[in-house]
Amino acid sequence: MKRYAFCPVCGSPLDRPADGAVHVDLLACASCRFEFWQNSKPAVSAIITRIVGGKHHLLLSRRGIEPCKGMWDLPGGFLTNGERPEQGLAREIREELGASVRGQTLLTVEIAEYVREDIAEEARFVLVLFYVCELDPGAVITPMDDVLEARWFPLNELPVEVAFSSDRRAIDAFKKKLNAHSPGSAHTG
């Protein structure tokens, strides 16, 4: 896997701090003292739902790019610098599905590992904010950008080949939330 090797400020080699250093998750430039922090990259994903025949359905998109090309995924993507998560989610849904969403409600936050040969080891972790939402009424789904196709699945009949374990954990959190709010379930609060 690739590694970052040179300072983006002055071009000198980057080094990892010595064992026992306070901040081990950064690369440092000995020449200009630039500190290159290894933060998880922020992203958003949508759990887009609808009810058909009294059953919840989930919209999944088939990935058109690596990693996990051809596998099913929750639509979403990386935030741009300074972009609010809700705005980024709306932008990503427009870019990937040609549609607008409403009722964005934060469900959970997960760490995903995004592994590709062309991505440096230090950049492989992604902090994903998962939102539950619906498409705007009358929205027409048009796969675009890096999406091969989009399809509705009954929540209890999802495909096995879901791209990321973080997506599966978020879907499980959504199912758990539904079960906690279903009639006859025992819950407090």
| Residue among 168, 161, 167 nearest 70 (CA) | 161
> What span, in angstroms and rounded, lies between the C-alpha atoms of 64 and 159?
17
Superfamily of domain 41-181: Nucleoside Triphosphate Pyrophosphohydrolase (3.90.79.10)
| Residue among 26, 36, 48, 78 nearest 150 (CA) | 48
Sequence spans of domains, the chain: 1-37, 41-181
Burial of 150 (0-12, 13-18, 19+ CB in 10 A): buried
Q: Which pTM was predicted?
A: 0.84
DSSP-based three-state secondary structure for 174: helix
Q: Record the tokens describing residue 34, joined without a space.
A: 């630039």
- The one-digit pLDDT tens for each residue of the chain (189 residues) are 467 788 889 999 888 765 555 566 678 888 998 887 778 899 999 999 999 999 999 999 999 998 889 999 999 999 999 999 999 999 999 999 999 999 999 999 999 987 766 666 666 789 999 999 999 999 999 999 899 999 999 999 999 999 999 999 999 999 999 999 776 554 443
Sheet holding 14-15, edge to edge: 14-15, 26-29, 35-37
